[in-house]
């Protein structure tokens, strides 16, 4: 491998070697960007699904509140709505945690695969 001195006196790799490393680095960055895009899409889809479900559940709860004929019925409907909401948010946090964990694992896998591709060759 030939090393050249740049204008500032630092050693640099020869052009074919630099091009090879740049190509490998570009490939690794493209794979990482693709994985990131897929993971963000999964989170976005999950967020839309959750919000849609919450709106539907809130509408049903509002209907129940409107149908209440006494204070005990009103409080019961409110408590049910609150318990359902708390459970839904708790489940959603778990789901988002799983998605983020999967994203981190996929990112680590892409990173480790890309790292091998960007290692410089030690052959002269």
Give residue limits of the domains in the chain: 15-115
- If one counts every other C-beta atom within 10 angstroms of the C-beta of residue 27, the result is 14
Give the per-residue pLDDT at 6.
55
Can you give the pTM of this predicted structure? 0.63
User: How confident is the model over 39-47, as a mean pLDDT?
Assistant: 90
pLDDT in tens, 69-100: 999 999 999 999 999 999 999 999 999 999 88
| Percent of residues, the chain, with pLDDT higher than 90 | 44
């Amino acid at each position: 491998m030939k090393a050249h001195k740049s204008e500032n006196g630092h050693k640099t790799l020869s052009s074919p070697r630099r091009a090879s490393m740049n190509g490998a680095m570009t490939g690794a960055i493209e794979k990482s960007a693709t994985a990131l895009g897929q993971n963000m899409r999964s989170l976005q889809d999950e967020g839309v699904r959750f919000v849609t479900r919450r709106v539907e559940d809130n509408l049903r709860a509002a209907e129940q509140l409107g149908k209440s004929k006494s204070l005990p019925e009103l409080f019961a409907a409110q408590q049910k709505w609150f318990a359902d909401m708390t459970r839904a948010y708790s489940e959603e946090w778990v789901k988002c945690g799983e998605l983020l964990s999967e994203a981190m694992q996929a990112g680590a896998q892409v990173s480790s695969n890309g790292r091998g591709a960007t290692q410089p060759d030690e052959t002269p």
